[in-house]
């Protein structure tokens, strides 16, 4: 397995900057959802690190759920456009205020499909909190209410985001130098 130090182009967002922004998002969400029945829905697997740090900063009672969707295959650098739900919610969301927590929004197609599906379950509200937003890549409009960072169109990894299912455990967001990266067999 190739070491991340061999293919990192730059650290885009440091651990300190991530945690500072997450604290600010938590305070904003706490204010906006006071006296509401909040359910945080984490999109697996990339959103796990962000969601766990974020909910520590939300000073309200809340419920958490997990949803796994797939539109990428191993080694793929772009979405196939076909969204599959691989793990659905266990709890009902009818009448609840749902906040989807996502690691990164690129084209918006995957989240648009998720939102369309969840809207049929009649939540009181349904919004998105994303750590990273590649606005210049957006093809479909999605209701992003909270955004950690807008980033350029770069292939990023770390802090929950993988490169071929590895390196999610790094405490920062790095940019991959694709000329130096070797895809595992």
Please list the active-site residues: 106
Nearest by Cα to 22 from 59, 50, 63, 62: 50
User: What does the DSSP 8-state code read for residue 153?
Assistant: S
Q: Identify the burial level of 5 via C-beta atoms within 10 angstroms of its C-beta, where 0-12 means exposed, 13-18 middle and 19 or more buried.
A: exposed
Count CB-CB contacts under 10 A for residue 58: 19
Rounded Cα distance, 73 and 162, in Å: 12
Cα distances from 135 to residues 53, 57, 66, 105, 125, in angstroms, run 24, 26, 25, 8, 23
- Within the chain, strands assigned E span 8-13, 38-44, 62-70, 84-87, 97-105, 125-133, 144-150, 156-157, 173-176
């Amino acid at each position: 397995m190739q070491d991340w130090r061999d293919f990192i182009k730059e650290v885009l967002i440091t651990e300190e900057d991530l945690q500072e922004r997450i604290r600010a998002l938590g305070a904003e969400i706490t204010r906006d959802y006071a006296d509401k029945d909040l359910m945080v829905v984490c999109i697996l697997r990339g959103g796990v690190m962000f969601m766990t740090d974020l909910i520590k900063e939300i000073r309200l009672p809340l419920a958490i759920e997990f949803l796994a969707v797939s539109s990428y295959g191993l080694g793929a650098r772009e979405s196939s456009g076909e969204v599959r739900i691989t793990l659905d919610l266990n709890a009902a969301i009818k009448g609840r205020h749902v906040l989807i927590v996502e690691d990164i929004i690129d084209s918006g197609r995957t989240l648009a499909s998720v939102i369309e599906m969840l809207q049929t379950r009649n939540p009181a509200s349904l919004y998105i909190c994303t750590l990273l937003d590649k606005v210049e890549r957006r093809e479909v409009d999605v209701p992003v209410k909270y955004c950690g960072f807008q980033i350029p169109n770069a292939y990023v990894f770390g802090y929950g985001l993988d490169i071929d299912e590895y390196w999610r455990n790094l405490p920062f967001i790095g940019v991959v130098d694709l000329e130096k990266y070797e895809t595992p067999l």
